[in-house]
Structure formats: structure tokens, C-alpha cells
Amino acid sequence: MFELNGKVALVTGGRRGLGLAMAAGLARAGATVAVNGTAAESAELKKKMTAAGAPWAYFRADLADRDQRQGLVQRVVDRFGRLDILVNGAGIQYRQPAMEFDLGKWDLIISLMLTAVFELSQQAARVMEKQGGGKIVNIGSLSCFQGGWTVPAYTAAKHGVAGLTKALANEWAAKNIQVNAIAPGYFDTDMCAPIKADPVREPKIRDRIPAGRWGEPEDLVGPLLFLASDASNYVDGHILVVDGGWMVR
């Protein structure tokens, strides 16, 4: 029920961090994985994906650039013959007080974290419709629900992704394409390193998490396999919070 043998998945932002953990998780469950990232293929990526033991390939493209994202799904289909699972994971973070917030950064974040999610979903759904179905999993954040602090573009993009998840779920449900999202809480990755290292903020955050600990990238693999597999065929349009209980406290 949770196996992905014979499925082809595309993970954007899969070169490192949570994206890489998720790409490797899909591969360990049997999927062929197309990993997308902006920078050159890294040794860590090669090592983790090879260890996972399924066919995979790296597709370099800067998804903030419309020209580069335009043909991405087609490139994957040309290489692997189909696309069953799309994980929209690419994201960046930029902090600045809203009054001074750099407008170039605003455009970049909205383009990469909202517009690209829509465009890739559109590309993928056209393929999935012909195949008779598919799974799209967007990576949200607690910023799908909360305002955050000095991260206005990130929060706006993630709220947008939450809305888009529901809108696309609604339109494509009858085509057997389920669209859901995962909203990770506080996870120990490069993106959160400044907070993790902050002696004042870190214990405050940890104390608020009922599970009493930060998430590890591996904690996202189970939820992703659930949403990417037949186990969740009647779950649609949901933003699945994986946060050790942060949101309920």
C-alpha cells in the first residue's frame, strides 16, 4: 500500500536538506527519482541517491527562471517515460524587516516558491491526466498558517501554496490526481541553522514543541510516502502538518 515500485517521481529542490531526504525516501520505497536542483550535482547527493538503490537522474534547472522551468517535466518524461509523483520542494529564505524588504528578493521568492509550483503542477497534471492519475505533494511550512517574523515574502508564498493545493485538488480530483501538501515544523536543516544556533530562541522553540525535539529530515519520509502512495487515495487538498505538535500548543 505504501510501495512506489514502478512509479516515477520528480522532486524539485532535491539536491540537499529536506528535499534530498525526501528524494532518497521515495527511491528507497522503489520509485525512480528525477532530482532537480539549481547548483551542480554534489557528492552528498550522489552518495545518498546511489545508496537508495533505485534508478535516478539529476535535472539541473533554476526554477526561479521561467525559461528553465518550462520544459522540466518534459525532460523527465523523455528520460523516464512517465511521471506519477511531483514533489514541489524548492525554496529559499530571505529575512528583512517588511518596511525595507528588497523588492527584487520579493519577486524572486514569489517566482520560485509560488509561480513555479503552479507551473510545474500544470505541466505534471497534463501528463498525469493522460496516465489516468498521479500525486502532487507541495512542501508548505508552518508559514502556511502563521505570519512569521521579517519573512513576508516567504509567508506570502507559503500561504499561496496552501491555497493552490486546495484549488488544484478541487479541479483535478475527478481526474484521480490528488494534490496535498506537507507543512514541516521546525526541522534541523541549513535553512534553520541560524535559529538552531541561537541560544535564546532555540530552547524557547524546543519547549513549545510537544514532542520535545526538533524534526529530523527522516521524519518527513513517512508522511511523504503516505501522500505519494495509494495509502492516501481518499486524502485530497490537505496540508499535512509534521511538527511534533507545534500547531496545537
Partner 1 sequence: MNIQQLFDLSGKVALVTGAGRGLGRAVATGLAEFGAEVAAIDLTADNSRDTVAAVTAAGRTGRAYGCDVANEDAVQQTVAQIAADFGRIDILINIAGITARIPTTEMPPATVRRLTEVNYYGTFWMCQEVGKIMLAQRGGAIVNMSALGGGFVGTGRGNAAYSATKGAIASLTKELACEWGGQGIRVNAVAPCWFQTEMNATSIFSNKNFMAQVITKLPMKRIGQPRELIGPVVFLASEAASMITGLILPVDGGAAATCPIEWKPE
Q: Which of 36, 138, 155, 165 binds partner 1 (CB under 8 A)?
A: 165
Query: Is residue 58 a contact partner of residue 109, using CB atoms and an 8 Å limit?
Result: no
Q: Does 108 bind partner 1 (CB under 8 A)?
A: no
Helix (H, G, I), strand (E, B) or coil at 138: strand
171-189 burial: b if 16+ Cβ within 10 Å, else e:
ebeeeebbbbbbbbbbbbb
Nearest distance in Å: CB 153, partner 1: 24
SS3 148: coil
The residue type at 202: E
Q: Is 141 helix (H, G, I), strand (E, B) or coil?
A: coil
User: Scanning residues 1 to 20, which ones bind partner 1 (CB under 8 A)?
Assistant: 1-2
Q: Phi and psi at residue 135, in whole multiples of 5°?
A: -130, 130
Of 120, 113, 119, the residue nearest 139 (C-alpha): 113
206 is a contact residue toward partner 1 (CB under 8 A): no
- Asked whether position 132 contacts partner 1 by CB under 8 A, the answer is no
Q: How far is the CB of 223 from partner 1 (least distance, A)?
A: 7
**Catalytic member of 58, 94, 154, 186:** 154
With CB under 8 A as the contact rule, which of the stretches 58-66, 69-77, 99-107, 237-245 interacts with partner 1?
A: 237-245
Scanning 15-23, 85-93, 135-143, 216-224 for contacts with partner 1 by CB under 8 A, the matching segment is 216-224
**Is 58 assigned a catalytic role?**
no
Q: Does 21 bind partner 1 (CB under 8 A)?
A: no
The one among 185, 189, 192, 228 contacting partner 1 by CB under 8 A: 185
- Nearer residue to partner 1 within complex by CB, 123 or 165: 165
Helices 43-52 and 17-28, packing angle to 10 deg: 20
Alpha helices by DSSP H, listed for the chain, are 17-28, 43-52, 66-70, 72-80, 103-110, 116-131, 152-172, 193-196, 201-208, 221-228
Closer of 49 and 225 to partner 1 (Cβ)? 225
Candidates 57, 170, 194, 202: give the one binding partner 1 (CB under 8 A). 170
Residues that bind partner 1 (CB under 8 A): 1-2, 25, 28-29, 165-166, 169-170, 173-174, 185, 209-212, 215-216, 218-223, 225-226, 229-238, 240-245, 247-249
